[in-house]
Amino acid sequence: MGIAQRPLPQPTASTQAFWDATRQDRLLIQQCKACSTLQFYPRPFCRACLSEDTGWMESAGLGVIYTFTINHRAANEHMKPHVPYAVAVVTLDEGVKLMGAMAPGRLADIRIGARVKVVFEKVSDALSLPRFALLETA
């Protein structure tokens, strides 16, 4: 039995613009055109007012670590060469939270509240994933 394909996000009608932007190293946040609420992840409608008239704003890609974990057991075969690795939930300065892996770096420096910037890891011609890199080491 061979190793299955690495599990990767599958863009949908709601998320295609987001993934198109990450390929250009840009992070988009969905924004409701009716009430201006920001939301992540992208959905077909605004979770505040249920409007389907949604657009995008570009994030500065800066935030703070809300919480994180360090994985010593790989989530799948493809992550085995990377253990131990950290996964974090980050509150962007714009207010929404997103989850992703930390970029390679010193795990001991990762702290709740640490400033991070979003970087992009190209995983295929079609897809780049947002990662988080520490801005300061304490």
Positions touching Zn ion (CB under 5 A) are: 32, 34-35, 37, 46, 48-49, 51
* Least distance (Å) between residue 126 CB and Zn ion: 30
| Least distance to Zn ion, CB of residue 31, Å | 9
Q: How far is the CB of 49 from Zn ion (least distance, A)?
A: 3
- Closest CB to Zn ion among residues 48, 107: 48
Identity of the residue, 48 or 135, whose beta carbon is nearer to Zn ion in the bound complex: 48
C-beta closer to Zn ion: residue 90 or 96? 96
Q: Which is nearer to Zn ion, 52 or 109 (CB)?
A: 52
Q: How far is the CB of 38 from Zn ion (least distance, A)?
A: 10
3-class secondary structure per residue, the chain: CCCCCCCCCCCCCCCHHHHHHHCCCCCEEEEECCCCCEECCCCCCCCCCCCCCEEEEECCCEEEEEEEEEECCCCCHHHHHHCCEEEEEEEECCCCEEEEEECCCCHHHCCCCCEEEEEEEECCCCCEEEEEEECCCC
